Amino acid sequence: MMTRYLSELNIGETSIIAGFDTSRVKDKEFAADLEDRLLEIGFEEGLSIEVLHQGPIGGDPIAVKIGTMTIALRKMEAAAIILGEQQ
């Protein structure tokens, strides 16, 4: 099965965070501490995630639910989040 990333998830879809792949982000400097930043705000392997909203232009940024939190992030950032098996 193809690896899926958070940026490919549609509104209402639920999945599990499986890991991070910041090499998918073009800007290397930006990618350097992206994983730490994602971890700090609450993205963590094994947590369940749901896409709640998408921005009005190009569906970017997106808002996701993790636990009791809603977190907003750009698709570019979401592209570095690997999803696991769908429930």
Partner 1 sequence: MTALRVALIGAPNSGKSSLFNTLTGSHQKVANYPGVTVERRSGTMTTEGGHEVKILDLPGIYSLNDRSLDEKVSREIITGVHEMEKQPEVLVCVINASNIRVHLRLVLELKTLGLPMIVALNMHDLAARDGIEIDVSRLSEELGLPVITTIAVRRSGVEALKEFLDRDASAYTKPMGIKSDTSTRALQKEAGRITSLVQVSEGGHHKMTRILDSVALHPVIGPILFFVILFFMFQAVFSWAETPMDLIEGSFVALGELIGENLPDNWLRSFIQDGLIAGVGSVLVFLPQIIILFLFILTLEASGYMARAAFIMDKLMAKVGLNGRAFIPLLSSFACAIPGIMATRTIANHRDRITTIMIAPLMTCSARLPVYTLMIAAFIPNKPVLGYFGLQGVVFFTLYLAGIISAIIVAAVMKKTITKGTLQPFLMELPKYQMPRLNHVLLELWQRVRAFLRRAGTIILYAAIALWALTLYPFAPKDATEPDIYYSFAGMIGRALQPIFAPLGFNWEISIALVPGMAAREVAVSALGTVYALQGDEDQVAQSLSTVLQNSWPLPTALAFLAWYIYAPQCLATLATARRETNSWRWTAFMAGYLFALAYLVAMIVNISAKALMA
Report in angstroms how near the CB of residue 85 gets to partner 1 at its nearest: 20
Ramachandran class of 29: left when φ > 0, alpha when ψ lies in -120 to 50, beta otherwise: alpha
| Residue 13 vs 67, nearer CB to partner 1 | 67
Residue 32, C-beta contacts closer than 8 angstroms, at least 6 positions apart: 22
Among residues 67, 39, 48, 42, the alpha carbon closest in space to that of 9 is found at 48
Distance CA 60, CA 55 (A): 5
Report in angstroms how near the CB of residue 7 gets to partner 1 at its nearest: 13
Per CB under 8 A, contacts with partner 1 among 19-78 are 27, 29-30, 32-34, 36-42, 44, 52-61, 63, 65, 67-74, 77
Report in angstroms how near the CB of residue 58 gets to partner 1 at its nearest: 6
Cβ pair 47, 10 in contact under 8 A: no
Is residue 13 part of the contact set for partner 1 (CB under 8 A)?
A: no
Interface residue list for partner 1 (CB under 8 A): 27, 29-30, 32-34, 36-42, 44, 52-61, 63, 65, 67-74, 77
